[in-house]
Amino acid sequence: MTEQDKTDLQSVERLLKEGRKQESLSLLAGYLQQNPNSAQGWWLLGLTVSDPIRQIECMERVLLIDPASVLAQVRLEKLREEVSIPPPIPPFVEPEVSSPQLPKQDPKPPAAQKTIPISKTKNSVFQYVVISVLAFVVLVVLGFAVMMFLQNAPNQSVPILFFVKTPMSIL
């Protein structure tokens, strides 16, 4: 960070303390165009904007640049609680399902509702089919191996077909 960058950020902080958010916003816009990877710049922008959604976006940007920023993590959690936006779910993790409830009426028309893509459904069906075929192949190979072992076993005292032909009453 250059000396000019430090001076710019100090000016923004001073303006924020004085309550002059509009002036600090214009300074920050120019600063972040020059320094898009400045965690401190995004932090100050998150304190400058009034829209909670934009504040959340700024804190998320700070954490992308500096994942160890505890202040940004705490502020982000607080903002999400205030706006009641749940934290994002990591990929490949299914959300926990609570007790079943009656579906709520969605004011959106059916076309605007989120639907599961057909390709995702087809993929899961395809996965089950592949797993089933593989399990069947493994069972056939194991059965064949057992049959070969029993046929080649020396001094075989009980014929293989004994188990098939024996009535259940003898067992």
Which of 3-17, 31-45, 114-128, 156-170 has the weakest average pLDDT?
156-170
**What is the per-residue burial (b if ≥16 Cβ within 10 Å, else e) of 100-119?**
eeeeeeeeeeeeeeeeeeee
Mean pLDDT of 27-53: 88
Give the residue from 83, 63, 81 showing the smallest Cα distance to 72. 63
Tell me phi and psi for residue 12, to 5 degrees.
Answer: -65, -45
Q: What CATH number should be reported for the domain whose range is 3-88?
A: 1.25.40.10
CA distances from 152 to 5, 132, 144, 146, 156 (A): 83, 30, 12, 10, 9
Interval 59-96: pLDDT, tens: 999 999 999 999 999 998 888 888 776 666 667 666 56
Average pLDDT over residues 139-157: 79
DSSP type of residue 155: S
* C-alpha dihedral (59, 61, 63, 69), degrees to nearest 10: -60
Q: Where are the alpha helices (DSSP H) in 49-117?
A: 52-65, 70-83
> Could you tell me what percent of the chain has a pLDDT over 90?
16
Closest CA to 78 of 96, 102, 51, 52: 52
Locate the domains of the chain by residue range: 3-88, 119-165
Residues 6+ apart with CB under 8 A from 106: 113
